[in-house]
Structure 1
Amino acid sequence: MKKLIFVAVLALVSMTTFSQAQFGLKAGLNVANLTGDDMDGADPRSGGVFGVFAKINLTETIAFQPEALYSMQGATGSETEQGYDIDVTMKLDYINIPLMMKFYPADGFSINAGPQVGFLASAKAKAETQGISAEEDIKEAFKSIDFGLNVGLGYDLPMGLGLDFRYNIGLSNVLDTDEGEGKNGVLQFTASYAF
């Protein structure tokens, strides 16, 4: 009976908390790269990011914001083989779950930080040379889960609009190999709308 009462109270508190939450959509631009010993010479890949969020105000100055985002990441580079210049794009797309804490030191302005777990949705390498291109699935070469830490700044505009600037620091080696290391690093610029 005590367990039943505890579960009922927990469900009621959860419903009350989420009924006070603001839900919304966000979308923007990633400038992503891979860093590590095996990634020297890699250049950034630009891609989109979009998804949903819930903002839960804990106090007047602190909010918790879990998100679910589809994030286009990876890197680009070039190499020369047999006299031909080959441009390579590594497309790593993730479903990321950031758990952000937002601190509001001034009206509308926020400082944001929180952990993130990412699930690899797609991994492809595209090579181009002299107008010829080929794409290959490379998902087996990467780990399916990535961990990171987000830090950033935000500003909430009137009528539910918001702007965020964020950097994701990759904490785990995403290469699925015993040798070599590659970590995600992503600059992210997003606009959001809260209902």
Structure 2
Amino acid sequence: MHLPKKYFFRSLIAVSVFLLASLHTSAQELGYGFRAGIDFPSYSLSDGFSATSTVNFQVGAFVDVPLAGDFLSLQPGLSLQGKGGADGDWFFLSLEPNDPVLDEFKQNTMWLDIPVNLIGKLQMPMGGFVFAGVGPYLGFGLSGKNKLGDTPLSGSAGDQVFQFGKDNSLRGLDCGVNFSLGYQLPLGIHLMGGYGLGLADLTPTGNELGYSYTQKNRVWSIAVGYAL
């Protein structure tokens, strides 16, 4: 799924209006929080290609807008999300399992995500609550780096920094759905596991290298946060 520019701007405006409408709620009712954690990103690829997960990080903040007392809330937010993938058969257009360059390859990307999650809360007798969330996100690519390693096929290329949307690099606009499950202590500290299901095709722009597959973000994560 490619996102033309007109849909990009429409989505940005829609998200901005939605966030402003949410913040119109009385400031006395709003909650605030932040979280940081570890991401285990990979890619979903077509045409027989595959990717393994790598390790990255996330950090972000959110606003908690109550919708139904202590049981349901809306959480718009902003987060820096490290994504990417390893074992780059898709990058080198190679399905040869013994190709040594694939073992050395990692792609790390950094995104600014705007999630809007609906959070259900189950209050616990001993205090705190279990929560589960689902909602859409819009992501903007900030930076990317390919680690090529030092192999007979790649030489000593090292790291290659790239910009989204340029020189056959990844497309810089993502969208998808987030899922989360966690527990918050009475003091506001919470532990959360999450999964990000990217829906946008990030396949590099241009066809000089013959890219024909689809490439979508997939991210498992573990995070610790604090809610005020």
TM-score (norm 1): 0.84
SS of the residue aligned with 2:27? helix
Higher deviation after alignment, 122-131 or 47-56: 122-131
* Runs of 4+ displaced beyond 6 Å: none
Alignment pair present for 1:154 and 2:163:
no
User: C-alpha separation between the residues in 1 aligned to 2:183 and 2:220?
Assistant: 17
SS of the residue aligned with 1:44? coil
User: C-alpha separation between the residues in 1 aligned to 2:111 and 2:117?
Assistant: 18
> What residue in structure 2 maps to residue 26 of structure 1?
35
Letter of the 1:117 partner, please give it. Answer: L
Aligned residues: 184
1:162-181 matches, cutoff 5 A? 162-177=190-205, 179-181=212-214
Q: Is this contact kept in 2: 1:17–1:56, CA < 8 A?
A: no
Alignment pair present for 1:92 and 2:92:
no
1:72-87 matches, cutoff 5 A? 72-77=82-87, 85-86=100-101, 87=104
- Bigger strand fraction: 1
Alignment pair present for 1:102 and 2:119:
yes
Higher deviation after alignment, 136-145 or 11-20: 11-20
> What residue in structure 1 maps to residue 15 of structure 2?
none
Higher deviation after alignment, 136-145 or 119-128: 136-145
Letter of the 2:141 partner, please give it. Answer: L
Alignment pair present for 1:41 and 2:50:
yes
Aligned alpha-carbon RMSD (Å): 2.7
User: C-alpha separation between the residues in 2 aligned to 1:103 and 1:12?
Assistant: 20
Alignment pair present for 1:113 and 2:134:
yes
Deviation at 1:104, TM superposition (A): 1.6
Structure 1: which 5+ runs fail to align?
1-10
Q: Is this contact kept in 1: 2:72–2:120, CA < 8 A?
A: yes
2:216 to 178, 183, 189: 183
Letter of the 1:115 partner, please give it. Answer: P
User: C-alpha separation between the residues in 1 aligned to 2:138 and 2:21?
Assistant: 28
User: C-alpha separation between the residues in 2 aligned to 1:99 and 1:67?
Assistant: 7
Percentage of identical aligned residues: 23
User: C-alpha separation between the residues in 1 aligned to 2:60 and 2:78?
Assistant: 6
User: C-alpha separation between the residues in 2 aligned to 1:16 and 1:101?
Assistant: 16
| Post-superposition CA distance 1:24-72 (Å, at most 9, x none) | 2100010100111157231101111001111111112101111211111
Structure 2: which 5+ runs fail to align?
1-19
CA gap of 1:145–1:13, structure 2 versus 1, over 3 A, is: closer
SS of the residue aligned with 1:18? coil
Q: Is this contact kept in 1: 2:37–2:221, CA < 8 A?
A: yes
Alignment pair present for 1:17 and 2:38:
no
User: C-alpha separation between the residues in 2 aligned to 1:63 and 1:147?
Assistant: 22
SS of the residue aligned with 2:117? strand
CA gap of 1:12–1:146, structure 2 versus 1, over 3 A, is: closer
SS of the residue aligned with 2:203? coil
